[in-house]
Structure 1
Amino acid sequence: MSTNIQILGLILSLINYGFVFLLVFNLLKVNYFNPIVSLFVKIYRPISKILGLFPVQSVNIFLIAIVLKFASLTIYFGTQYDALVLIGVAVIQTLMITTRVIFFALIGGVILSWVSPQNSNAFIELIEEISSKTLKPIRKYIPSAGGLDFSPLFVLVLINLIEGFLSDILRYIV
């Protein structure tokens, strides 16, 4: 495989990560006035006008991320696998990337709550917002116990279970 084709596959994978970040921002409804989020939205708008298939923006973002992942997998594995297998792998890998982004945002939010409780820049605000909005449904059922918040622990375990399930499906497909 030539180097130019590998670079194209890498670029498509990086763009896929950008759309996964945008998907997380959209699903959690983070503050769109954050400069980082507004940058992703400005990049997405022209592409959504071209590829806007569904009225729900999250579905469009997810489908664009899958198409980008499928294109990069096709570049890397071309004729080795069937197209349906590559589509399945693209869907599962996109879901795994999404869970991994949320996983690291949760860890970052927990660490930042200990180290730097004051929001000092847009990136820290974004991490803390993703973390708090991910933990919000769990905190309804698991309140903090004496100043200790155990909800991140349960969410991290749940994310690891989901990733294990997705990787088992991925092993079965491939």
Structure 2
Amino acid sequence: MAEPYTNNAAAFLIQTLFGLYLMALFLRTVLQAVRADPRNPVTHFLIRATDPVLRPLRTLLPEVGRVSLAALVAMLVIQALELGLLSLTGGGTWTAEGLVVLAIGQLLALAIQVWTIAIIVAAVLSWIAAGGGMGYNPVFALLDELTAPLLRPARAILPDMGGLDLSPLVVIIVLQLFNILMVAPVRDLGLVLMRG
């Protein structure tokens, strides 16, 4: 009788712990790519938290431009491990190719989710800062560095709206369309392949 509860608790712990670490790896990878300030306390925390996994991989996998191949491989392996463990707790089986395809889909979905939340939080904080309610905040600085590569092209394309910045809304719509049209089919294909 207690088995479903135990499986649910195990699945919750797996998803939470792996999800938090994957988010830390993703944020570190993006912040490294945009050359975020390493003195920012949040960036410093992300570097310290992810170095034990990335340091050994960096000796094997080089960086390509600003992108860390070690971080990408680590995220893929950790995501596949999470999915494999979840499959085992649910009593399911899996195939290697299904696991890899589903892991790629899950990582893309994570990227969209993190960027969407970051854009929303940055927009809200910018309204507070515009009202004079905030001084320097390391989290706000980090959000600005994280979202700027997505918002900058939208701002260049959109016409001047008299001080109203619609670029966050446009980018969120594009991210959600990408999620629906590109990421969801990859995840569905992974699920089909997982069943063998």
TM-score, structure 2 normalization: 0.77
1:75 is displaced (CA, Å) by: 0.9
Identity of aligned residues (%): 22
1:8 is displaced (CA, Å) by: 5.2
Structure 2: gaps spanning 5 or more residues: 192-196
Q: Which deviations, in whole Å up to 9, do the C-alpha atoms of 1:20-70 show, x marking residues without a partner? A: 221222233322221101111123333222112321153221211111111
Partner amino acid, structure 1, of 2:126:
S
Q: Decide whether the 8 Å contact of 1:22 with 1:40 is kept in 2.
A: yes
Of 107, 119, 136, 1:106 maps to 119
Mark the CA change 1:119 to 1:65 in structure 2 (over 3 Å): closer, same or farther: farther
Mark the CA change 1:13 to 1:158 in structure 2 (over 3 Å): closer, same or farther: same
CA RMSD of the aligned region, Å? 2.3
Measure the CA separation in 1 of the matches of 2:150 and 2:40.
18
Q: Decide whether the 8 Å contact of 2:22 with 2:78 is kept in 1.
A: yes
Structure 1: gaps spanning 5 or more residues: none
Measure the CA separation in 2 of the matches of 1:5 and 1:83.
22
1:123 is displaced (CA, Å) by: 1.4
Measure the CA separation in 2 of the matches of 1:151 and 1:114.
14
Greater CA deviation, 80-89 or 117-126? Answer: 117-126
Partner amino acid, structure 2, of 1:140:
A
1:134 aligns with 2:147: no
Alignment size in residue pairs: 174
Q: Which has the larger radius of gyration?
A: 2
1:119 is displaced (CA, Å) by: 4.0
Q: Decide whether the 8 Å contact of 1:28 with 1:134 is kept in 2.
A: no
Q: Decide whether the 8 Å contact of 2:102 with 2:186 is kept in 1.
A: no
List structure 1 runs of 4+ shifted beyond 3 angstroms: 1-10, 117-120
1:159 aligns with 2:175: yes
Mark the CA change 1:144 to 1:172 in structure 2 (over 3 Å): closer, same or farther: same
1:97 is displaced (CA, Å) by: 0.4
Mark the CA change 1:160 to 1:114 in structure 2 (over 3 Å): closer, same or farther: same
